[in-house]
Amino acid sequence: MEVKLLTRNFENPESWTLAAYEKAGGYRTFPKALAMDPEAVIQLVKDSGLRGRGGAGFPTGMKWGFVPKGTEKPKYLCVNADESEPGTFKDRYLLEKDPHALIEGIIITCWAVGIHHAYVYIRGEFGLPYYRLRDAVQEAYDKGYLGTNVGGKGFQLDITIHRGAGAYICGEETGLIESLEGKKGQPRLKPPFPAVIGVFGCPTVVNNVETIQAVTWILEHGAAEYKKYGTEKSPGTKLFSVSGHVNRPGVFEIPLGLPCKTLVHDLCGGIRNGKRQKANIVGGSSVPVLTGEEADQVDLDYESLAAAGTMLGSGGMIVMDEDTCMVWTLAVILKFYAHESCGQCTPCREGTGWIRNLVYRLEAGGGTAQDLDKLLSITKNMMGTTICVLADAAAMPTESFLKKFRREFEAHAGAGRCPIRGASSHFLTAAH
């Protein structure tokens, strides 16, 4: 069921303040890290099995270990707080409710990797999270937790908060780096990877908010305690942002490996109005959709979801009931990805708009049965052919929606209208 590791302070009054964080035991863990050899801290994170919580799921300690040891260049940490995946809002709550936990995680991470300057790249649309984090950083400077002599240990560390301008593509780590450098937010070719050549041409670690905050708990309680949660290959906890047709939407921290059925039907109170679960996007809008029946049979960990043909992603779960039109839903998703394509790669620039228009046409009543095969053909030419995975993020839902709910798409083509909604929505009509 639900556990409270990263969310343990959420219910504390004024949990975002320094006084509340210190009262709950905050800023007592980083001195332990500063008393350890940096390599020992990295090894502890490796031993915990912590994997990146931003979507890719890459082992965190291994990522830190890729940073060159003997370089004369400065090293940087970029915290990815540009949470823009539709359906995902857990980092927003971490920033609003417990920003000092992020700061303490940053201190530990920077000590381990030999970093003296960290950047937090935060989504520009975030208002309250930004102000809470800004105030927390200032409180940490005033108390001596940041600056030239962190915690009186002779370690220098500065944090700079950088607000984005609302581009989804800047959630991709190299697009984030380009934007942070003042350039157009477009992903870079890899290799070289940021660990070697990152921001300002220097070795850089890029981790998201949830990952960094987990580091504090691991240093406080140890790798063995962290691995008591989750599964052997997917240890620890994960924050899921659950939205859609459930009775209790919200952010839930659960051990990895929990049955999806338990999260949806127990913690979230089941499908609203007694309806049937028709579909479930478990990891954010970019991952392949599951039918309701499939979702009730799968566990929420990296390996189980991969075996089911989808991904854990960012943990942005979108639940849909039996009255949902899957063609309209896909049209909403594709409207987003076509708009957010940076245009750098032809398969993405042309493909996202092409499949969006085909799905628009189907929903509006002008599509044909041939459009369905054309959609599948286009998506195959989009996946794996671009610098970043935005093209895949549009293609994977399209392919899975068609395969799982093809009869619904065929019904749209045959009826010359949306048989579920009766008519196309205003935004689809206006787009033409």
pLDDT at 432: 46
- The whole-model pTM stands at 0.94
Report whether pLDDT(431) > 80. no
Quote the CA–CA distance of 87 and 222 in Å, as a whole number: 32
Residues 6+ away with beta carbon under 8 Å from 222: 44
pLDDT at 1: 78
Query: Which phi and psi angles does 402 have, rounded to 5°?
Result: -65, -40
425 burial type by CB count under 10 A (0-12 exposed, 13-18 middle, 19+ buried): middle
Report whether pLDDT(414) > 90. no
Tokens 């540009």 sit at which residue?
82
Do 372 and 406 form a contact (C-beta atoms < 8 A)? yes
Summarize pLDDT for 216-239 with one digit per residue, the tens: 999 999 999 999 999 999 999 999
User: Going from the N-terminus, what domains does the chain have, and what CATH number goes with each?
Assistant: 18-226 (3.40.50.11540), 237-321 (3.10.20.600), 326-431 (1.20.1440.230)
Query: Which helix H or strand E contains 159, and what residues bound it?
Result: strand 155-163
Q: Percent of the chain, pLDDT > 70?
A: 97
DSSP β-ladder status, 117-122 and 76-81: parallel
The model's confidence at residue 387, banded by pLDDT at 50, 70 and 90, is: very high
The residue-averaged pLDDT of 115-126 equals 97
Summarize pLDDT for 255-304 with one digit per residue, the tens: 999 999 999 999 999 999 999 999 999 999 999 999 999 999 999 999 99
The model's confidence at residue 430, banded by pLDDT at 50, 70 and 90, is: very low
Tokens 């750098």 sit at which residue?
344
Which among 108, 34, 110, 113 has a CA at the least distance from the CA of 66? Answer: 113
Quote the CA–CA distance of 362 and 353 in Å, as a whole number: 14
Quote the CA–CA distance of 255 and 234 in Å, as a whole number: 9
Tokens of 67: 């940073």
Mean pLDDT over all residues of the chain?
A: 94
CA 192 to chain centre: 23
Summarize pLDDT for 46-64 with one digit per residue, the tens: 999 999 898 778 899 999 9
Tokens of 202: 């220097």
Report which DSSP code applies to 265: I
pLDDT at 56: 76
